[in-house]
Structure 1
Amino acid sequence: MRLRRIMFAAMDGEDRPGAWERDAALMVRRGLAEPHPSLMAFVVDGDGPGEHQLAASAMGRIEDRLPGPRNPAGRFGFVFNVCTDEPYRGRGYAKAVTEALLARFAERGVVRVDLHTTAEAEGIYRALGFAERATALSLTLAERRV
């Protein structure tokens, strides 16, 4: 959750600790403990002294949707929580954990993978083959005005 907070702070410009961290940690533990988990994570251990901490992480989820002509299996992947702690940046860790996640997706029959990125990290994903889709819209229901 420490890396997740760092990621959100980079995206929002502010660090917002809270109960969401406990809830997210519980969800991760449950998701990774499933017999055939749809949630997966790849990490790089930090090499600093003292308390054990991660240098980088990438998480992803496989979602089964209805099959279609471009995805007969209906399996989609979503990459999230890609973050490298400041002292470890520039070593290729974000790319390595993302590539490991993509390989696992491919093994599990995922056809299409989506993600959201910051401007700073966009180059990593483009180098891996990610490109813009024609239309992507989203809605935050709590902010919806009818």
Structure 2
Amino acid sequence: MIEVRRAGVADAAELARLRGVMLADMDGAAPEPGRWSEIAATTLRERLADPLDSLAAFVVDRNAPPGGLAACAIGVIERSLGGPENPSGDVGYVFNVATDRDHRRRGCSRACMVAMLGWYRQRGVVRVELRASRDGEPLYRALGFAPTHPVTMRLVLPAPL
């Protein structure tokens, strides 16, 4: 059985590293470590330290070699205006699911996602969204996710001077 636990502050650097693993899978090339990963680790340390924060991460520890993480799922609860299908307006958004290559096909990501979905249920979240990689899509479908068809658009604003 795979043991999943809620991540804590001490896991921040490993969670940032696993974000790089996920980005490599999504983009086809590993991002260079640097300022982005330092900022991600700092953000994770800050947010994981606050038990009332709307961010949670669930992880599977690496057994061999000891230390580090094998897999994670990280998500947030975003609050917007409610509507008929979601009166509270709370939406779960899973933005990082990753498993190191040497731990894939063992159920680690599934275990992390099941824990994440349980966390959302405990908080009354009825709608959860994510962006799936081609490799991750079968897992998400098996968990009940369905494709949506709205147009997704993005604007990248210049950084402040």
- With normalisation by structure 1, the TM-score equals 0.91
Matches within 5 A, 1:98-109: 98-109=113-124
Name the stretch that deviates more: 133-142 or 86-95: 133-142
Q: Secondary structure at the match of 2:154?
A: coil
Distance 1:83 1:64 in 2: 25
Give unpaired runs (5+ residues) of structure 1.
Answer: none
**For 1:109-139, what per-residue CA distance to the aligned partner results, in whole angstroms no more than 9, with x for missing partners?**
1111000111111000000000012314121
For 1:94, the equivalent position in structure 2 comes to 109
What amino acid maps onto 1:139 in structure 2? R
Distance 1:134 1:49, change over 3 A: closer
Between the two proteins, the alignment pairs up a number of residues equal to 142
Instruction: Classify 1:69/1:42 alpha carbon distance in 2 versus 1 (closer, same or farther; 3 Å).
Output: same
Matches within 5 A, 1:1-146: 1-16=16-31, 17-50=33-66, 52-142=67-157
Q: CA RMSD in A?
A: 1.4
Q: Give unpaired runs (5+ residues) of structure 2.
A: 1-15
Q: Distance in 1 between matches of 2:54 and 2:131?
A: 19
4+ residue runs over 2 A deviation: 140-143
Q: Percent identity?
A: 46
